[in-house]
């Protein structure tokens, strides 16, 4: 312990003697540690954004989409022909034991008018279960009810983006808007959802009763058909079972046999979104790995300077050995200097990395997540760099012969 404290004092004195050289030597470590912490914080922020977007879709979700059909020998693309119906959604909810809810959806777009303001937005024909499946709250007013669905009422829920562009600071609840010149009463305002994983604005939307969309707004040459069905499994563990049960049921209902292609597609959104999240984590690791290269470069710089220091202080080493210093004392002295350089540089780099992450968050409106684990790892890695790259110069100093060292000019 006494030897270590003495080595620290000698190392600190040696570094103070050449302050500018010591700072320039530390610069590679400072930049490396700062880059690692900042990159990991930025990458973690990206993962947070994706996690929030995944949560905004809803939990344990399957999406049933219309498939393709063959007409006159021509294969039509997926979704070109409505093949799903309201009855399919009712059957899925009633007969699939792994399914909690099934919400059919009809989607379109229209110009919406309020007073002298107008806005083009997405129109969703939905059932009351849709908001439950999407875990989407109504922050003002009320939600759509089964009475709205059965009576095909002209009531609607509007998203935050629509509310801002049509009403500004005015309260929209109870106001009349026109969708394709048809008057609708705003009965509620949806909570803010933000951006979807695909990059679209989920708040730029109006929800109306599904039967209203089918009968009064969009119409269809295929009565009772829907654009898609959102299915919520009872739990995450039931997702695979739900996919199997929904597929089997729709095969039976649509009379899909071994020789006939299915006219629907069942997608597990949780799997698709997990892939996006894993890609984000991989990108964070890649950013951290790239930033770590500068630590290696900084370590090489420390090795070079320590070798120069050994050459400059050869006579000093010889004198210390002549008065009784052992090889391990010399080794410990130079190794301590290398580690002290990297640790001081690591502390400065950590401060700059945290500050850099905060600046990115402030000026670019990008969330950053500073992890104490990442800081601890960066600090530990800087110490390891000092030991690894400082060992060879220290070993070289310790292996000098006292007589040769004393004769060195």
Q: CA-based angle 77:197:142, to the nearest 5?
A: 100
Of the candidate ranges 24-33, 130-139, 272-281, 317-326, the one whose mean pLDDT is the lowest:
272-281
Residue 70 lies in a domain: no
355 and 400 inside one domain: yes
Specify whether 88 is located in the same domain as 228.
yes
Q: Are residues 150 and 258 in the same domain?
A: yes
If one counts every other C-beta atom within 10 angstroms of the C-beta of residue 182, the result is: 13
Whether residues 255 and 126 share a domain: the answer is: yes
User: In this structure, what are the phi and psi dihedrals at residue 238, rounded to the nearest 5 degrees?
Assistant: -90, 0
Residues 304 and 396 reside in one and the same domain: yes
Output the six-digit token pair for 334.
């130079």
Same domain, 167 and 190: yes
Structural domain boundaries, residue 151: 82-262
Domain for residue 267, yes or no? no
Average pLDDT over residues 217-227: 77
For residue 182, the model assigns a pLDDT of 92
How high is the mean pLDDT of the chain? 81
Contacts of 161 (CB under 8 A, 6+ apart): 121, 201, 203, 204, 205
> 310 and 241 in one domain?
no
At 2, the pLDDT band (50, 70, 90 cuts) reads very low
pLDDT tens by residue, 155-204: 999 999 999 999 988 999 999 999 998 999 999 999 998 877 666 788 99
pLDDT higher than threshold 90 for residue 376: no
Tell me if 60 is assigned to some domain.
no
How do residues 131-153 score in pLDDT, each as one tens digit? Answer: 998 888 999 999 999 999 999 99
- Dihedral of CA atoms 286, 287, 292, 298 in degrees, nearest 10, equals 140
How does residue 402 score in pLDDT terms, banded at 50, 70 and 90? Answer: low
Given a cut of 60, is residue 74 above it in pLDDT? no
Whether residue 225 sits in one domain with residue 105: yes
For the segment 313-328, the average pLDDT, to the nearest whole number, is: 75
Residue 71 in this model has a pLDDT that exceeds 60? no
Q: Is residue 71 part of a domain?
A: no
pTM, 2 dp: 0.63
- Say if 95 falls within a structural domain: yes
- Would residue 268 count as lying in a domain? no
Higher per-residue pLDDT: 130 or 332: 130
For the chain, the domain total comes to 2
Per-residue confidence band for 128, with pLDDT thresholds at 50, 70 and 90: very high
Say yes or no: 254 and 296 in one domain. Answer: no
End of a domain among 239, 262, 285? 262
> Do the beta carbons of residue 106 and residue 206 sit within 8 Å?
no
Q: What is the pLDDT of residues 9-47, one digit of tens each?
A: 766 776 677 777 778 778 878 888 888 788 778 777 777
Q: Which residue has the tokens 């998203």?
A: 159
Domain boundary among 231, 262, 293: 262
Task: Please give the distance of CA 366 from its chain centroid, rounded to a whole number.
Answer: 11
Residue finishing a domain among 209, 235, 262? 262
Question: Residues with Cβ < 8 Å from 284, sequence gap 6 or more?
Answer: 39, 40, 43, 44, 46, 47
34 phi and psi angles, rounded to 5 deg: -60, -45
Task: Say yes or no to pLDDT of 6 above 70.
Answer: no
């Amino acid at each position: 312990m006494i030897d270590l404290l003495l080595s620290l004092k000698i190392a600190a004195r040696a570094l103070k003697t050449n302050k500018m050289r010591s700072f320039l030597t530390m610069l590679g470590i400072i930049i490396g540690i700062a880059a690692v912490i900042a990159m990991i914080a930025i990458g973690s922020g990206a993962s947070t954004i994706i996690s929030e977007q995944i949560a905004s879709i809803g939990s344990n979700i399957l999406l049933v989409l219309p498939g393709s059909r063959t007409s006159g020998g021509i294969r039509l693309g997926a979704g070109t022909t409505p093949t799903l119906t309201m009855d399919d959604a009712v059957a899925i909810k009633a007969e699939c034991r792994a399914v909690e809810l099934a919400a059919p959806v009809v989607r379109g777009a229209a110009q919406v008018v309020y007073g002298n303001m107008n806005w083009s937005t997405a129109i969703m024909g939905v059932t009351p279960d849709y908001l439950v499946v999407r875990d989407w709250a109504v922050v003002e007013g009320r939600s759509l009810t089964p009475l709205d669905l059965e009576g095909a009422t002209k009531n609607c829920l509007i998203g935050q983006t629509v509310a801002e562009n049509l009403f500004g600071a005015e309260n929209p609840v109870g106001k009349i808007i026109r969708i394709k010149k048809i008057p609708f009463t705003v009965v509620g305002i949806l909570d803010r959802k933000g951006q979807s994983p695909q990059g679209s604005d989920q708040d730029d939307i109006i929800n109306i009763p599904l039967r209203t969309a089918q009968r009064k707004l969009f119409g269809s040459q295929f009565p009772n058909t829907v654009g898609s069905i959102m299915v919520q499994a009872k739990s995450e563990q039931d997702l695979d079972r739900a996919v199997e049960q929904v597929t089997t049921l729709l095969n039976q209902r649509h009379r899909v046999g071994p020789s006939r292609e299915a006219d629907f597609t069942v997608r597990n959104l949780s799997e698709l979104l997990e892939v996006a999240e894993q890609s984000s984590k991989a990108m964070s690791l890649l950013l951290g790995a790239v930033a770590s290269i500068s630590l290696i470069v900084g370590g090489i710089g420390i090795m070079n300077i320590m070798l120069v220091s050994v050459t400059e202080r050869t006579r000093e080493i010889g004198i210390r050995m002549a008065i009784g210093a052992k090889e391990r004392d010399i080794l410990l002295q130079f190794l301590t200097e290398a580690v002290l350089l990297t640790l001081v540089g690591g502390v400065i780099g950590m401060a700059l990395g945290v500050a850099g992450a905060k600046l990115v968050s402030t000026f670019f409106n990008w969330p950053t997540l500073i992890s104490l684990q990442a800081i601890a790892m960066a600090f530990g890695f800087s110490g390891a760099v000092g030991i690894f790259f400082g060992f060879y110069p220290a070993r070289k100093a310790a292996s000098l012969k006292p007589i040769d060292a004393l004769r060195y000019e």
